């Protein structure tokens, strides 16, 4: 199996062939194998039998053969190698997205002891790297959809380790965007660096998943408690700045579209976190109620001057 994975799958992607269609089909094969055979849960196989001259179909419980430890370790090592490649990656967007999905599926199933290098490698590669940022976002999305206790514990550990670096990048991006957001001249905002906007948008998605799904674990240490408070106070300032800035640029401009998504994500983070953890969110609630009240009043005034 490891030979098939190496020579017919990840080996092709990592440079045995440069033909994109072959690379993509190979990575999709690996993705399918990981989905069914990383930690198989069993399945139903339709088996045709004959009884008293009458054919009928009976369900038989089967368990797919799990990938061997050597094959798993090879895949883990290959993924770590890929995550460490400096941008831009020599792959198409379809292949990059598939690799992100593989990282998410393995990261969901593996514990920190199974794959200890994954999270440190992701976090170290985050700054200015859309690929690894997307990988982390997909991993958190995958974990957010799980209800098994093991996955929840895994999510909490990843959250506590990730939040400090996520907040550092979130703050850095806010500081870089602040001059354009506060300027009365819209030309600076409309010409803002697109990569910066993309990094900022994805970082708000990541912060959203961490807070909405794991707020209690983020309130378990003094460092992360302070960072949670910093996020919500910063997001309130940003919400006001974004509301004002969006009025200065055309609604069909790409920057307007991206910033509107950021504004929506920041607002929904507060709403969803409060819905999931009303007691823990209580200290942050009052300022957000004030903002939403101002927003409603301004919308009403705009519709009925």
- Determine contact, residues 255/190, Cβ cutoff 8 Å: yes
Q: Between 69-83 and 130-144, two packed helices, what is the crossing angle to 10 degrees?
A: 130
pLDDT band at 27; cut points 50, 70, 90: confident
Q: Read off the pTM.
A: 0.84
Whether the predicted pLDDT of 53 surpasses 80: no
CA–CA gap between residue 151 and residue 148 (Å, rounded): 5
pLDDT in tens, 243-299: 999 999 999 999 999 999 999 999 999 999 999 999 999 999 999 888 888 777 665
* pLDDT, average across residues 34-43: 72
Evaluate whether 169 touches 127 at the Cβ level (below 8 Å).
yes
Predicted confidence (pLDDT) per residue in 106-143, tens digit = 998 888 889 999 999 999 999 888 899 999 999 999 98
DSSP-assigned letter for residue 114: T
Q: What is the mean pLDDT of residues 14-20?
A: 58
pLDDT at 6: 56
Give the integer Cα–Cα distance in Å for 128 and 116.
23
Structure tokens given for 103: 């990282």
What local confidence, expressed as pLDDT, does residue 283 receive?
Answer: 92
């Amino acid at each position: 199996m490891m030979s098939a994975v190496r020579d017919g799958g990840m080996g092709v992607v990592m440079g045995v062939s440069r033909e994109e269609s072959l690379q993509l089909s190979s990575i999709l094969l690996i993705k399918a194998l990981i989905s069914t055979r990383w930690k198989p849960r069993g399945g139903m196989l339709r088996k045709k039998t004959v009884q008293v001259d009458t054919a009928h179909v009976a369900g038989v419980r089967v368990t797919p053969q799990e990938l061997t430890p050597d094959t798993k370790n090879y895949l883990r090592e290959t993924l770590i190698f890929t995550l460490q490649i400096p941008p831009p990656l020599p792959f198409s967007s379809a292949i990059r997205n598939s690799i992100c999905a593989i990282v998410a599926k393995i990261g969901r199933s593996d514990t920190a002891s199974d794959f200890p290098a994954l999270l440190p490698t992701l976090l170290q590669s985050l700054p200015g790297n859309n690929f690894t940022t997307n990988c982390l976002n997909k991993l958190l999305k995958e974990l957010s959809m799980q209800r098994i206790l093991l996955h929840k514990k895994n999510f909490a550990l990843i959250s506590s380790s990730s939040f400090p670096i996520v907040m550092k990048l979130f703050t850095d991006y806010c500081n870089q965007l602040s001059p354009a957001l506060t300027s009365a001249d819209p030309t600076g905002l409309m010409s803002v660096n697109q990569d910066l906007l993309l990094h900022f948008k994805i970082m708000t998605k990541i912060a959203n998943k961490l807070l909405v799904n794991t707020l209690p674990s983020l309130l378990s240490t003094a460092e992360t408690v302070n960072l949670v408070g910093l996020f919500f106070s910063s997001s309130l300032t940003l919400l006001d700045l974004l509301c004002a800035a969006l009025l200065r640029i055309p609604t069909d401009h790409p920057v307007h579209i991206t910033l509107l998504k950021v504004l929506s994500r920041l607002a929904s983070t507060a709403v969803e976190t409060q819905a999931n953890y009303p007691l823990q969110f209580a200290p942050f609630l009052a300022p957000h109620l004030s903002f939403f009240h101002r927003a409603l009043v301004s919308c009403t005034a705009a519709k009925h001057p």
